């Protein structure tokens, strides 16, 4: 039921973006969709697209609005994917990726949602929707049971929220869970350390997960310049995961995580390794 409500909300909401449409007909389409006049909104956007050449500066914006007013999720995602690929340098591309992440999350497709949210952070480091992307990446990590990863993204969301009070409050709400986990980990550290060693489990800090070897090499060079000894792992999904450290306790890994964040930045998080 919660997923259905979120899907409906995303389908009928104004664009969850850092900028509003500049074209009056697109603004009208958004008003129509919020009033429940979806067919009229879609007709208006189709007519606008038909009058535009693909190279027109208004085309990416119109594609984005077409996704907002789309009648189903897959049609919306198809328009957003096209926008993110064909117009990756436009001011709407990062917002398209974010909206795909939100739609996939609403559908319970958490792995895909996380992938698109983190693409905003990796590919558009100065994006106006960076804080929102970090928040949704955190929501994905929480659903997947990765509290450490979620907390790293929530800290980014809270720090970058700026004047977006609502987003800052939402991030702060979920950060309460991080505080509770940290207190529990501290209380149990002495008893769990021996068990971790017995299982031959070690902890590392994952700094980034990127799609190309070149991007992984660049991340490793940055880490080496900061005095760390990184390594890269190739995952089954094809991502290159750059990690630092093999530590016996989660507490040590968290100290390393904080040091990396201080020296290099980004959203590193603690992972367990066999």
In order, the DSSP letters of 101-170 are HHHHHHTT-HHHHHHHHHHHHHH-TT-TTHHHHHHHHHHHHHHTT-HHHHHHHHHHHHHH-TT-HHHHHH
Residue 210 near residue 219 (C-beta atoms within 8 A): yes
Domain, as residue range, for 243: 200-273
H-state helical runs in the chain? 2-12, 24-34, 38-50, 59-68, 73-86, 93-106, 110-123, 130-143, 147-160, 165-198, 213-225, 250-263
| pLDDT for the residue 182 | 54
Which DSSP symbol is given to 201?
-
Do 20 and 90 share a domain, yes or no?
yes
Which domain CATH number covers 237? 3.30.70.1070
| pLDDT for the residue 179 | 67
Which of 191, 210, 228 is a domain's end point? 191
| pLDDT for the residue 183 | 55
Do 38 and 97 share a domain, yes or no?
yes
Q: Mean pLDDT for each consecutive 10-residue tract of the chain (274 residues)?
A: 42 48 86 89 93 93 93 92 94 94 91 92 89 93 85 90 89 82 52 50 86 86 92 80 90 88 82 80
| pLDDT for the residue 21 | 72
Do 104 and 118 share a domain, yes or no?
no
Which of 53, 82, 108 is a domain's end point? 108
Compute how many other C-beta atoms are within 10 angstroms of the C-beta atom of residue 59: 19
232 — alpha (psi -120 to 50), left (phi > 0) or beta? beta
Do 2 and 103 share a domain, yes or no?
yes
Do 119 and 185 share a domain, yes or no?
yes
Looking at the structure of the chain, the number of domains it has is: 3
Which of 108, 129, 159 is a domain's end point? 108
What is the pTM (predicted TM-score) of this model?
A: 0.64
What tokens were used for 76? 């919306």
């Amino acid at each position: 039921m919660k997923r259905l409500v979120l899907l409906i909300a995303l389908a009928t909401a104004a664009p969850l973006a850092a900028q509003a449409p500049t074209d009056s007909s697109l603004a009208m389409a958004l008003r129509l969709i919020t009033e429940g006049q979806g067919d009229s909104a879609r007709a208006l956007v189709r007519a606008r697209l038909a009058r535009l050449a693909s190279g027109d500066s208004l085309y990416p914006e119109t594609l984005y609005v077409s996704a907002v007013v789309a009648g189903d999720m897959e049609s919306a995602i198809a328009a957003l994917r096209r926008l993110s690929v064909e117009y990756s340098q436009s001011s709407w591309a990062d917002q398209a990726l974010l909206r795909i992440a939100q739609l996939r999350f609403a559908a319970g497709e958490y792995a895909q949602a996380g992938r698109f949210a983190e693409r905003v952070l990796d590919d558009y480091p100065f994006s106006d929707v960076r804080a929102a992307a970090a928040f949704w990446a955190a929501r994905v990590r929480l659903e997947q049971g990765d509290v450490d990863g979620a907390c790293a993204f929530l800290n980014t969301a809270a720090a970058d929220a700026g004047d977006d009070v609502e987003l800052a409050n939402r991030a702060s709400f979920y950060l309460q869970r991080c505080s509770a986990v940290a207190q529990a980990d501290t209380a149990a550290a002495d008893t769990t350390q021996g068990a971790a060693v017995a299982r031959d489990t070690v902890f590392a800090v994952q700094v980034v997960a990127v799609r190309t070897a070149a991007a992984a090499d660049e991340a490793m060079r940055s880490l080496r310049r900061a005095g760390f000894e990184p390594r890269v792992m190739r995952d089954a999904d094809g991502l290159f995961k750059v990690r630092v450290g093999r530590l016996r306790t989660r507490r040590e890994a968290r100290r390393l995580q904080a040091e990396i964040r201080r020296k290099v930045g980004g959203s590193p998080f603690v992972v367990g390794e066999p």
